[in-house]
Structure 1
Amino acid sequence: MTIPSSDRASSAVPKAPGALPLLGHLRQLLSDPTRFLTSLPAHGDLVEIRLGPRRTYVVCSPELVSQVLLTGHRDFDKGGPFFENIAVFFGDGLATCPNAKHTRLRRLTQPAFHPGKLVDYAALAGREISAVTATWREGQVLDVYPVMQELALRITVSTMFASWFTGQDSGAGQVEETLREVDTLVSGAFLRMAAPGLAGLPLPTNRRFEQARRSLYARIDATVAAYRRDGIDHGDLLSMLLTRGEEGASLTDAEIREQVMTMFIAGIGTTAAMLAWTLHHLSLDEELDASVADEVREVCGGATTRHEHLPRLETLSAVVAESFRITPAAWLFSRTTVTATELGGHSVPAGSDILISPYILHHRPDLFPDPGRFDPGRWIGGEQSWVKAERALTMIPFGTGSRKCIGRDFSVNNITLALATLLGDWRLTPANTSPVTISGRSIIEPRGLKLRLTRRHEASEA
């Protein structure tokens, strides 16, 4: 809430230790981001860190998350180091636009995510998942994250714009090029957030960043133009975005490009990271993996997993929920204060950067006992459920409030559908002894994850 200056709290915001001159806490954030972030709640519910010379306030409790994202919504707007940098290529997409634009864009975009449309999207995604897993072979070792990136790209493309990979330039070459462009943007956005002074320098990384942005923009614009010309409903998300809403209202081509770019990057990144992390967690627990496979076979009967199967995959749903808790793909997002504000008993000036980390909340031991342990049982047979945890703001992988990710169910459905399809047929086990490490960029990703494929006997006998 905004309060008169005479009544504002005056206690100093606790500062995280270890800041270096000029660099601030960049070394800790870049070298071991999750360890650094989970250390912050010990200093308070609101902690000051430095990104270079830039002062940033990190929110560490559900109560303050509620104030920033719910009750004090008007005092905080999209902005801060994270969104300022991804907005370079997202534009005014739903994830980055200011509050003043959000209501209109949300209203025009929401029909594309109607529950009825999710059934159609699941059918499109299912074909891509089956096509990719059909190429897998017994004993093959997967470099899991790149493989999941390609699978996520194909799922995202099939559900968003079915004609993207058609024509003379379709095939593996375009898939690889698109993934390189997405990877360049994801990497560049995080570096610009952590070290904003680099953005304006004539560096090779900045040139690659700009080239990737222009290339994806051009491809999206060409696809939108083609859809407008042929006037055909392809049954995909882009067709829905082109549909006029109430009273003839519609998105402009520029707005469609920004929404598509947002959903495209977020869809690929979140889906790939969460698929890879979930496979990693299951590869370390043979009993849990077998339980998931048994459930999939019982629910789906050996057939291709479909949308109507998803509500009955209770064990797999709990595994996905726990994966989103322990390794949330979207691990950082930010706001900026519109006016001078009181937050957690501290005065926060107007124009301040506020950083919110789902990873911090998800790893607080007072909210989730033994938070570093992967335990889907947290979500099975007890009072705790993902929905309740989201309402309590202890679990916020998709944010909350009016700015909660519009694609939450779309993303979770695609991830669950993909896992059910591949886990029904394949057991994935660690292929080496090297540790899997966390790569903290705009999306938290696994590095060094190599898994060996073993076909399940029941599937091969069928």
Structure 2
Amino acid sequence: MTTTHPSENQSYVRGVAPGALPLLGHAPQFLRDPLDFVTSLGAHGDIVEIQLGLQPVLVACARPLANEVMQRCDVFDKGGHFYDTMKGMLGDGVGTCSWSAHRRKRQLVQPAFQRAKIGAYARVMHSEVASLVAGWRTGQTVDVSPAFYRMATRATVRALFSSDLEATAVAEIQRCFPIVWRGMLTRMLVPASLLRLVATRGNRGFDAALASLNQVLADIIRAYRTAGVDHADILSALLAAEDEATGLPLTDAELHDELMTLLVGGTETTSATLAWAFHLLAGHPEVERRLHAEVDEVLGGRIATFEDIARLEYTHRLVTETLRLYPPGWVTTRLVTADTELGGHHLAAGTAVMVSHYAIHHDPSVFPEPYRCDPDRWLPERASTIPKDAWVAFGSGRRRCLGDMFALTEITMALATIAGRWSLRPASDRPLKIQPRMFLTPGSLPMTFTARPAGDAQAPAADGGS
């Protein structure tokens, strides 16, 4: 039986991006302004060839083609230079492994993210949000990006490891992660392996931070195996998981890789999205007013709980719109595993293909005024007209992010709680410079807090668990 794909019924144009430099290709343009670069490519075709160093990459610009790449996991597999580089840090976990290994890994990890377990993890999120806001005062200026990052890191680590090892692990992860991130985008975009062998200060710092993270996780896994206790956390769930075909559990190396993947997804996505949300609120007073009205009615100054989320409808729409405007995973790559066609064009095995979630989310044919913040795009009657493949903040198809509910729960609880107690305004009128590294982040974002009377912001924050 012949399998057909949506793109086979239409005609798509294959083009080449202009401006490639000898040896470097389009890497300088990509590094200088990645978002402008990826959104500009559609002007040159539906499938556009670019050069990253000496590596040719095909970018699926037309949304149906981008969706096809994400859906056909067997032919468009995770791989190529980007994922090879990521595997050097994350290992071969469910987020980076090849398609042949993915089903088994997903089956082993998925039980840790069932809805009932998310409710339990929400108690940790509740506690960390309470700790975050407890020390804030009117007139105080805080760089919210690292503040949200620390909160997300602690919440993720406590959900992963609820044992007494937690405090040491959190401190070391907080110290090491930023060092690793700073070096990651260059390693992904400039495939100059020999240059990375030079013992520069940056390379030494990156290697040391990654080695320390690996050691922390190895120590924790060893301690859990020795204790043999179910801590009702994610690591305990992973240790209890068994392959449905063989009955074998995850090895230490596999546990390490899954934990690294979950640490990355649980920290960067949450902290970046929260920072972007408050950046948007500061520039959209009507959106802020409606958010304040909802959280005042639902929470009345309380710390949000898991049970509150169903009533926080406008908050949810704002989170969805924030993730549309600023998807943390803004670009992904795939490697063609067998000769195939895409949009009527032949792709040989070994071809590298790129998809930009950011470009998909800013398609004006789907999202009128695509750079405007409009949470009501996601009202049921309007959202029903938006193609399902036009919002891909957590990926698409069988490789959609496993931790999407975990992230959305924490983001919603934190956003509602903070907005219920505080108005945040930029401490400077300097334009914000978007930083598309491995994830799309706003970088440093100093904001000044003003207490909201309805939220009773000066009261102690720890008002009970969920």
TM-score, normalization by structure 2: 0.91
Q: Does 1:57 align with 2:58?
A: yes
CA separation in 2, counterparts of 1:427 and 1:42? 40
Partner of 1:276: 275
Q: Which runs of 5+ in 1 are unaligned?
A: none
Q: Which amino acid aligns with 1:398?
A: F
CA separation in 1, counterparts of 2:150 and 2:74? 39
Displacement of 1:90? 1.2
Partner of 2:375: 376
Q: Secondary structure at the match of 1:138?
A: coil
Comparing 29-38 with 287-296, greater Cα deviation is found at 287-296
Partner of 1:191: 186
CA separation in 1, counterparts of 2:166 and 2:149? 19
Partner of 1:35: 36
**Contact persistence 1:331–1:359 (CA under 8 A):** yes
Partner of 1:212: 209
Partner of 2:154: 154
The 3 A distance-change label for structure 1 pair 164 and 376 is farther
State the Cα deviation string for residues 41-99 of structure 1 (Å, max 9, x = none): 111221111101110011112211232122x3321111123211111111110111011
% of aligned pairs identical? 39
Partner of 1:95: 95
Q: Which amino acid aligns with 2:191?
A: P
Q: How many correspondences in the alignment?
A: 449
Q: Does 1:227 align with 2:228?
A: no
Task: Map 1:258-337; keep pairs closer than 5 Å.
Answer: 258-337=257-336
Q: Which amino acid aligns with 1:346?
A: H
CA separation in 1, counterparts of 2:276 and 2:265? 16
CA separation in 1, counterparts of 2:423 and 2:12? 55
TM-score, normalization by structure 1: 0.92
Task: Map 1:232-243; keep pairs closer than 5 Å.
Answer: 232-243=229-240
Equivalent position to 1:436, from 432, 435, 441: 432
**Contact persistence 1:157–1:164 (CA under 8 A):** no
CA separation in 2, counterparts of 1:412 and 1:330? 14
**Contact persistence 2:301–2:454 (CA under 8 A):** no
Q: Which amino acid aligns with 1:358?
A: H
Partner of 1:418: 414
State the Cα deviation string for residues 391-439 of structure 1 (Å, max 9, x = none): 6211111111111111111111111111112111111112111011101
Q: Secondary structure at the match of 1:437?
A: coil
The 3 A distance-change label for structure 1 pair 251 and 137 is same
Q: Which amino acid aligns with 1:265?
A: V
CA separation in 1, counterparts of 2:251 and 2:152? 27
Partner of 2:144: 144
**Contact persistence 2:340–2:348 (CA under 8 A):** yes
Q: Secondary structure at the match of 1:451?
A: strand
**Contact persistence 2:338–2:350 (CA under 8 A):** yes
Partner of 2:18: 17
Q: Which amino acid aligns with 2:37?
A: F
Displacement of 1:448? 4.1
**Contact persistence 2:422–2:450 (CA under 8 A):** yes
**Contact persistence 2:322–2:373 (CA under 8 A):** yes
Displacement of 1:345? 2.2
Task: Map 1:45-194; keep pairs closer than 5 Å.
Answer: 45-70=46-71, 72-163=72-163, 166=166, 169=168, 175=171, 177-194=172-189
